[in-house]
A and B are shown apart, each in its own frame.
Chain A
Amino acid sequence: MTRHILDASNLLCPMPVIRTQDRVKALNTGDILEVRCTDPGALNDIPAWCRVHGHEVVATDEDARGVVVILRVKMSDPA
């Protein structure tokens, strides 16, 4: 298991989701990805994307600097 960080700051929906999707393609099952965003919508959209693709949302957080979503890659998702 490897931990990765994706900085999606200053991107508006749906770019944080697209960046997350593209990054996850290159990861392995069990890897952890921490996505940092400034668009508050990412707090809903990245977990929604995880749910439809079967990845696990480990934690979410929001503060004055933005939003953090931590996910665990659950399956191979080459598409």
Chain B
Amino acid sequence: MTGSAQNQAKAVALISGGLDSMLAARVVKDQGVHVEGLNFFTGFCVEGHTHAIRNHNRKRPKRNNALWVAEQLGIKLHIIDVIEEYKDVVINPRHGYGANLNPCLDCKSFMVGKARQWMQAHGFDFIVTGEVVGQRPMSQRRETFPVVQRESGAGDLLLRPLCAKLQSPTAAERNGWVDRQSLYDFSGRSRKPQMALAAALGIEDYAQPAGGCCFLTDATYARKLNDLWQSRGKKTYELDDIMLLKVGRHIRPRPHFKLIIARDSGETNYLQGYRHRFSHLTMTSHNGPLTLIEGDINESEMVLAARIAARFGQGRDANEVTFDAVLGRGDPVPLCIQPLPSSEIPAQWYI
């Protein structure tokens, strides 16, 4: 291993905020390597703060897990905005999607490739990930490990400390930057080896054991994204589109428009920030959620939208509910309607 700070090897570690990447970085750091973390923001990341929009999640600890991990490890963390570049990964995945719209293998190659670029630009020696062979059905298999190395351009500058003993030695081991004997041979979907290692290293607190860090693996979210693409006739998105898919009930009564109805006051507050870009409905006669309308609608369709939105406020059983209705960039206009009976809202309208 490298001894003096002058010759100290430098590794950049992909830090998701979960346990595996935390352990991988820690194992390498404990061998005397200078480690810094990278975390990529794709727009699809599941973060406590996104959940914290909703009222019932307000009491959850509001922390960015990747930053928290970096602080626990005592390493720097660089958070990189890859929203624009990542679109191609989501829209045109070379290796296709997993169970939902998760392009996990393309995603891993993309992120390791970005880490390689960062490593080269900053004079680091190798890349560390928390991958475990057999851990994930799409991206973490024996057959896909070489794919990630090849397509990312990282080659054998990629070290997977948690399963390194099951792989051929990489540059980090051959060059003596790390001691191969102090690395691990974890495999399979069991979390027990990682939890045991965490305990041995004195790590008692960590975020989700595995997965759950990307909205693209979520069936409901994937359905909303597919609906967005179908309604537009093409696979495109902007950051605001994919953020709004995380918020509210989405109801599409007609192909050319949908309603985004806040589920509580937290979501209403969040959607307030978007209302100037959308036709929208604010309930005035009763307590009720803010409703955004995505798509161009006419006045009769605004009435339909209001009748649907009225179902989700305290006036759902009233004879009349009144809104301030804003069509396009117009001024608010009072709109009095009768709420639509729930029996007249077909299940297929719900996205």
Residues of A within 8 A of B75 (CB): 52
Residues of B within 8 A of A21 (CB): 78-79
Contact-size category for A: 20 to 34
Contact of A13 among B36, B50, B77, B122 (CB under 8 A): B50
User: Would you list which residues of chain A between 18 and 49 have a CB under 8 Å from chain B?
Assistant: 18, 21, 38-41, 43-45, 48-49
B76 and A52 form a contact (CB under 8 A): yes
Residues of A within 8 A of B81 (CB): 15, 18
Residues of A within 8 A of B77 (CB): 49, 52
In angstroms, Cα B67 to Cα A17, docked, is 10
User: Once A and B bind, how many residue pairs between them come within 8 Å at the CB atom?
Assistant: 73
User: Would you list which residues of chain B between 14 and 67 have a CB under 8 Å from chain A?
Assistant: 36, 39, 41, 45, 47-50, 52-53, 62-64, 66-67
* Dominant SS among interface residues on chain A: helix
A41 and B63 form a contact (CB under 8 A): yes
In angstroms, Cα B173 to Cα A70, docked, is 43
A5 within 8 A of B: no
Residues of B within 8 A of A53 (CB): 76
Please judge, given known A-B contacts A12-B47, A14-B79, A21-B79, whether A48 and B67 are in contact too, CB under 8 Å. Answer: yes
CB of A14 to closest CB in B, whole Å: 5
B243 within 8 A of A: yes
B185 within 8 A of A: no
B211 within 8 A of A: no
User: Would you list which residues of chain B between 70 and 94 have a CB under 8 Å from chain A?
Assistant: 70-71, 74-81
Chain B minimum-CB-distance residue to A9:
B273
CB of B264 to closest CB in A, whole Å: 16
Residues of A within 8 A of B80 (CB): 18
In angstroms, Cα B78 to Cα A41, docked, is 18
Chain B minimum-CB-distance residue to A48:
B67
22 contacts between A and B (CB under 8 A): A12-B47, A12-B53, A13-B48, A13-B50, A14-B64, A17-B79, A18-B41, A18-B79, A18-B81, A38-B273, A39-B49, A40-B49, A41-B47, A41-B52, A41-B62, A44-B63, A44-B64, A45-B67, A48-B67, A48-B71, A49-B67, A52-B76
Interface residues of B (CB under 8 A from A): 36, 39, 41, 45, 47-50, 52-53, 62-64, 66-68, 70-71, 74-81, 122, 243, 273
Given contacts A41-B47, A49-B77, 4 further A-B contacts (CB under 8 A): A12-B50, A14-B66, A52-B74, A53-B76
| 8 closest cross-chain pairs (CB), A and B | A13-B49, A41-B49, A41-B62, A48-B67, A45-B64, A10-B273, A52-B70, A18-B81
